[in-house]
A and B are shown apart, each in its own frame.
Chain A
């Protein structure tokens, strides 16, 4: 019987019980280190964290690394969660924290001039055509030039479709600061795009479907 249970924990498909569990029960399970809670938490929230990280960082492998780090921290700190029914927000806050740390690391790597950013060879694309990959490469290179705060605000607003009012508490900023940061980021990106003739030409020649 014990072997059977072990097999269930290894079969990496969420079972019926996992889907029926509320966030509250899940948080309580995590706090006591239950194995099933770890599995269900991953299945429930990992898609959200992976998509957020991939869109913000432009790298699938970086997103996967970040998700690992985020969930290890979530499991470690689960017993400090004061409002267990807000597990989703708890996970999201760790994801934002991890994103900030990753962007800081990237800035540091860029500052150490001869350590070229690794993300250049590992951008987020699956079935996109070569021209689109070029555009994405250039786009994420431009995002890399923004400050950490401007980039996060821009990513959450434009890539995650969050409102300014939602972004402010997530980043611990005031609404006016978020607005200022977004305006600044948008203006700089627009300026850089117009100053890049190759990018402008690629955008002009690309056929947009929507």
Chain B
């Protein structure tokens, strides 16, 4: 007979496995795009090496690894297996730490935390947060609401993790400000020094930010914007903590800007931008084509060149192939405004071309993150113009999904049936069958 405590343990395990099962989601189309791009690059690189070379290097690596293993293990024994670092000491100003790590503001001046290894954290007035376990794993700070600045000292042993709503920021030696507005589900990170990796419900997976960049995620609008901070320091990460005077100064340097100013001006065609100030005389000579950049995953190079040439000028003068490469690069870098502008330019300037038809489909993909009804319109137009085109299966699938979301199951069912008739083994076949089956 099962004891009650055994039953409880079993239930606890079931709950944990259920949580783990439910947490993992299918990769998005953008993540798959990114993965395929990386795979093609890796494959191209691997094909250049010869098999013999691999065998020879493998043998050498095994020998080296064995030697290294002996040395490393010897060192570990010598260190007395001192894996656990002592807990990190800190002092707090302007508030207290309550049970559960809750940081309570003593007044209205915000809370400042000073850690012994040099890291400073400041919760700006109005912010609420929690200090999670400070142990050998590293330190985690949870920002429940408001803004906070982090000046994290570089350390090989300790990791820093900042969590804000559904987002987490992996940190090593950097200076940044993070804000989370739970009411409007808006996340913002402004990075002054170093680099961070942000993960969370972001289309395209984790985002690595460089010094001087600002990330803004608006969950209700499903918008992810990365922009360059005008005048921000683009200092490369060094082995030392970034130069700073005090936490107060850091926070003033990174004071949150009004939301309206977060729109990256370089994204919007037709608006004045810093890129427009660059004269055509200073235009750098392109050593390789954008298609080549795209094939090698050098999306940022394309976007940099566009900014140097000027967005408007590029959209008006770039050949069809370059516009397409630009649209792809902008899509992969989640600069949806720029991607949309490039695709619209493609349609306007080359209306009779095959790329113009493809651009119609891709406009639907881009528009899905902003206006699903409009995306549906683009898919309809694409299917009218290219019933058996390159993207017809994908267009039928997306049309079915969006119709189901916007107009309900009854409207989506005929599309699902048509999809199954045309593409019985297509990637949306499962969803289509689910729609055609009575609930």
| With known contacts A7-B291, A12-B37, A75-B43, A127–B201 Cβ distance under 8 A | yes
A42 touches B35 (CB 8 A): yes
The reply to whether the CB of B285 lies closer than 8 angstroms to some CB of chain A is no
A61 touches B206 (CB 8 A): yes
The reply to whether the CB of B313 lies closer than 8 angstroms to some CB of chain A is no
B423 touches A16 (CB 8 A): yes
Q: How would you classify the secondary structure of chain B's contact residues: helix, strand, loop or mixed? A: helix
The reply to whether the CB of A101 lies closer than 8 angstroms to some CB of chain B is no
A16 touches B388 (CB 8 A): yes
Which of B20, B37, B199 is the one whose CB lies under 8 Å from A139?
Answer: B20
A residues in contact with B19, CB < 8 Å: 128, 132, 135-136, 139
B338 to chain A, nearest CB (A): 17
A191 touches B9 (CB 8 A): yes
Tell me the complex Cα distance, A133–B69, Å: 34
A residues in contact with B427, CB < 8 Å: 14, 19, 43-44
The reply to whether the CB of B409 lies closer than 8 angstroms to some CB of chain A is no
Which of B32, B69, B389 is the one whose CB lies under 8 Å from A47?
Answer: B32
The reply to whether the CB of B287 lies closer than 8 angstroms to some CB of chain A is no
The reply to whether the CB of B426 lies closer than 8 angstroms to some CB of chain A is yes
A79 to chain B, nearest CB (A): 14
Encoded as 1 (CB less than 8 Å from any B CB) or 0, chain A from 184 to 205 comes to: 0010011101100001100100
A residues in contact with B161, CB < 8 Å: 121
The reply to whether the CB of A3 lies closer than 8 angstroms to some CB of chain B is yes
B43 touches A67 (CB 8 A): no
Q: Chain A: interface residue count, which band?
A: 35 or more
B residues in contact with A151, CB < 8 Å: none
The reply to whether the CB of A94 lies closer than 8 angstroms to some CB of chain B is no
B27 touches A126 (CB 8 A): no
Within 8 A of B (CB), among A46-86: 46-47, 50-51, 54-55, 58, 60-61, 64, 67-68, 71-72, 75-76
Tell me the complex Cα distance, A195–B42, Å: 45
**Residue from A3, A15, A16 having most chain B Cβ neighbours under 10 A:** A16
B39 touches A42 (CB 8 A): yes
The reply to whether the CB of B98 lies closer than 8 angstroms to some CB of chain A is no
Tell me the complex Cα distance, A199–B199, Å: 24
Question: Can you list the 4 inter-chain pairs with the closest CB atoms, starting with the nearest?
Answer: A12-B33, A190-B9, A19-B426, A15-B390
Query: Known pairs A121-B138, A129-B166, A194-B5. 18 more at Cβ < 8 A?
Result: A7-B355, A10-B294, A11-B362, A12-B33, A13-B391, A14-B427, A16-B389, A19-B425, A46-B32, A58-B20, A114-B76, A130-B163, A132-B19, A133-B168, A139-B19, A158-B17, A158-B21, A203-B15
